[in-house]
């Protein structure tokens, strides 16, 4: 008499593994698209945060004008000063852990002197995906406070104040 075997046959195990691989092949691209959409949303919100920080910095230090991105933040515990405005999260001000970006985007903010003023009375800020896998478009804003978006698929940073002005506002 033969002893009864317990367990799964090799064919049954291969079928289960094949089914898992098929499900993974369908789910992973959707997960990546969802992650990129979340990064895009985070970048637009971070641009809005930077604009708010710039306005607050200008109000707090009118004789200094607008600030760089690093001057808007400050390491905890933060004491407000010209070099550390303490107006935005330091992870955003320093572009995330070790300067490697935040939510798949790199951010910049630059003050600009306009109309012959001795102090920076204009600014512009940009957000560009680190790679094509971390975001689908670039964002920018300037002193009018409107977040603007580049064309879908254009992931290079907006190069100038005037180039930012030429982009379409973010569709809400």
Q: 128-165 pLDDT, tens per residue? A: 999 889 999 999 999 899 999 998 888 888 888 889 99
Is the pLDDT at 97 greater than 60, yes or no?
no
User: In the predicted model, what is the mean pLDDT of residues 92-106?
Assistant: 78
Q: How far apart are the C-alpha atoms of 80 and 139, rounded to whole Å?
A: 28
Q: Is residue 52 part of a domain?
A: yes
Q: In this predicted structure, what is the pLDDT of residue 95?
A: 77
Q: Is residue 149 part of a domain?
A: yes
Give the number of residues written for the chain. 172
Q: Is residue 5 part of a domain?
A: no
Domains contained in the chain, number: 1
Q: How far apart are the C-alpha atoms of 21 and 101, rounded to whole Å?
A: 32
Q: State what percent of residues in the chain have pLDDT above 90.
A: 44
Q: In this predicted structure, what is the pLDDT of residue 118?
A: 79
Q: Is residue 93 part of a domain?
A: yes
Q: Assign 41 to helix, strand or coil.
A: helix
Q: Is residue 1 part of a domain?
A: no
Cβ neighbours of residue 42 under 8 Å, at least 6 residues apart?
102, 103, 104, 105
102: confidence class by pLDDT, cuts 50, 70, 90: confident
Q: Is residue 154 part of a domain?
A: yes
Q: How far is CA 2 from CA 113, 150, 159, in A?
A: 91, 72, 78
Residue 18 sits in which domain range?
Answer: 10-169
91: confidence class by pLDDT, cuts 50, 70, 90: confident
Tokens linked to 86: 């303490």
Is the pLDDT at 36 greater than 70, yes or no?
yes
User: In the predicted model, what is the mean pLDDT of residues 37-55?
Assistant: 94
Q: State what percent of residues in the chain have pLDDT above 70.
A: 93
Question: Closest by alpha carbon to 62, among 71, 52, 54?
Answer: 54
Structural Rg of the chain based on CA atoms: 24
Q: Is residue 2 part of a domain?
A: no
User: In the predicted model, what is the mean pLDDT of residues 50-66?
Assistant: 93
Residue with the two structure tokens 């600030």:
67
Query: What's the pTM?
Result: 0.82
- Mean per-residue pLDDT of the chain: 88
User: In the predicted model, what is the mean pLDDT of residues 60-86?
Assistant: 90
């Amino acid at each position: 008499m033969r002893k009864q075997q317990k367990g799964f046959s090799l064919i049954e195990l291969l079928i289960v593994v094949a089914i898992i691989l098929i499900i993974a092949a369908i789910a992973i691209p959707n997960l990546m698209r969802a992650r990129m959409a979340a990064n895009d949303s985070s970048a637009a919100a971070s641009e809005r945060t930077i604009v708010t920080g710039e306005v607050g910095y200008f109000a707090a230090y009118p004789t200094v004008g607008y600030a760089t991105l690093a001057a808007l933040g400050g390491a905890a515990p933060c004491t407000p000063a010209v070099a550390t405005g303490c107006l935005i999260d330091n992870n955003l001000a320093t572009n995330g852990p070790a300067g490697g970006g935040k939510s798949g985007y790199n951010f910049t903010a630059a003050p600009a002197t306009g109309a012959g003023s001795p102090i920076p009375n204009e600014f512009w800020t940009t957000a560009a995906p680190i790679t094509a896998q971390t975001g689908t478009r670039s964002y920018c804003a300037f002193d009018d406070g409107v977040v603007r978006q580049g064309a879908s698929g254009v992931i290079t940073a907006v190069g100038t104040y005037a180039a930012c002005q030429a982009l379409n506002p973010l569709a809400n």
